[in-house]
Structure 1
Amino acid sequence: MFKISYPLKVKIIARPAQREVLTTISFCTLMNGNSLIPKTIVALIVFLILISGSAVMVESKDEIEARNKAIVQASFVAWTAGTGSPFDLLADDVTWTIVGNSVVSKTYPTRDAFMHEVIQPFNARMRIGLKPTIRNIYADGNTVIIFFDASGTARDGKPYVNTYAWFFDMRDKKVVKASAFFDSVEFNEFWQRVFPKTPGNSE
């Protein structure tokens, strides 16, 4: 539903949330010779804009945070169940930065680069894949922070255990920027001790 008044204002009432978004549209003076275009014509133009979908409902900050948090949490549940992972949320052009002094610390400019240089070699070093245990998830606007432990078994039979903090910047239900923190000493020892599984190195 919308209401029109002069100076021209369009009030969009979103139901069932009963949320009102008030947008003021400024028009230049529309002249036809020396006469103004009738108000009914202007009202008709606004109505056509609204029904064409040009008027977009604005989500509140709480709704954005709840949506993003739920999406990320679901991806961790899928990771635990072996049916998916948070990496499924990465946009193709995501930038993933590993902070610290680990052997893989740098910024990866795309999803493919990150998966090829970090995740695939990591998984190739594991006998039993990494599984997460979430300590907490926080959301602030379009940013989701995941604080979690993860553990698995390396190819040499020794456990790998680390604690992570991931910061995800979300847009359109995708991760467009990520920063990762973890224990670099634990990671480096594992990475240098265990050789990845290859066709010629299957044991």
Structure 2
Amino acid sequence: MTTNKDRLRDVYTAVSAGDPQPLLAALADDVEWTIIGSTRLSGTFRGKQEVLDGLLRPLASRLAGPIRFTFDRFIADGDDVVMLATAEAMAVTGKPYNNTYCIVATFEDGRIRRMTDYVDTELITAALFTSP
């Protein structure tokens, strides 16, 4: 039986291999995805299209290649899964984007209904949006 921990791990394993499709397929149509802070990528995005247009495409446009996640651990409690991970990528600014993530995902009927990313927001601005 596939658990929500397995689902989240599988999604981010695919993202690390450069394939965002499993992530998109795992999102509920009415997903709410929040990036903390006040960066250009911060906010709460509602619905798949808004997540795509407001978060995933803008993020991808600032990266020079895929973002590769290394998992520390997954903690589950019912429909909630917490993923602790680090990630490495190169930004189009030429700077490394090596961030630490605490992602809290809430599943509903096997799909991600809510997600909050707790990340180093200063690094988002410095690496992804500040020219050398």
Query: Do the two structures share a fold, i.e. TM-score over 0.5?
Result: yes
CA RMSD of aligned residues (A): 1.9
- Contact 2:36–2:121 at 8 Å: present in 1 too? no
1:114-151 deviations in Å (ceiling 9; x for gaps): 22112111111211221111111111000011111111
Aligned partner of 2:64 in structure 1 is: 127
- Indicate the SS of the match to 1:69: helix
Could you list the per-position Cα deviations for residues 63-112 of structure 1 after superposition, in whole angstroms to 9, with x for gaps in the alignment? 8xx61111111212222233445343111210111222333322111121
Once the two structures are TM-superposed, the CA of residue 179 in structure 1 deviates from its matched residue by 1.1
Counterpart for residue 72 of structure 1: 8
Return the match for 2:111 from 174, 179, 184: 174
Matches within 5 A, 1:39-78: 67-78=3-14
Counterpart mapping for 1:18-167 below 5 A: 67-84=3-20, 85-167=22-104
Shift in CA distance, 128/80, structure 1 to aligned 2, threshold 3 Å: same
Q: Mapping of 1:163-202 within 5 angstroms?
A: 163-193=100-130
Distance 2:40 2:19 in 1: 29
* Paired residue type of 2:74: I
Higher relative contact order (CA 8 A, sep 6+): 2
Change (3 A) 1:191 1:127: closer
Cα distance in structure 2, aligned partners of 1:123 and 1:193: 16
Unmatched 5+ stretches in structure 2: none
Contact residue 62 and residue 92 of structure 2 kept, 8 A: yes
Distance 1:82 1:191 in 2: 18
SS in 1 for 2:11: helix
Give the CA deviation at 1:166: 0.8
SS, match of residue 39 in structure 2: coil
Distance in 1, matches of 2:101 and 2:47, equals: 21
Select the structure of larger CA radius of gyration. 1
Q: Secondary structure of the equivalent of 1:86?
A: helix
- Structure 1 residues 82 and 192: CA distance shift in structure 2, 3 A: closer
Q: Percent identity, aligned pairs only?
A: 26
Secondary structure of 1:115 counterpart: helix
Mark the runs of 5 or more structure 1 residues left unpaired by the alignment. 1-62, 195-203
Offset at residue 189 of structure 1 (A): 1.6
User: What TM-score do the two structures reach when normalised by structure 2?
Assistant: 0.87
Separation in 2 of the partners of 1:190 and 1:115?
21
TM-score using structure 1 length: 0.58
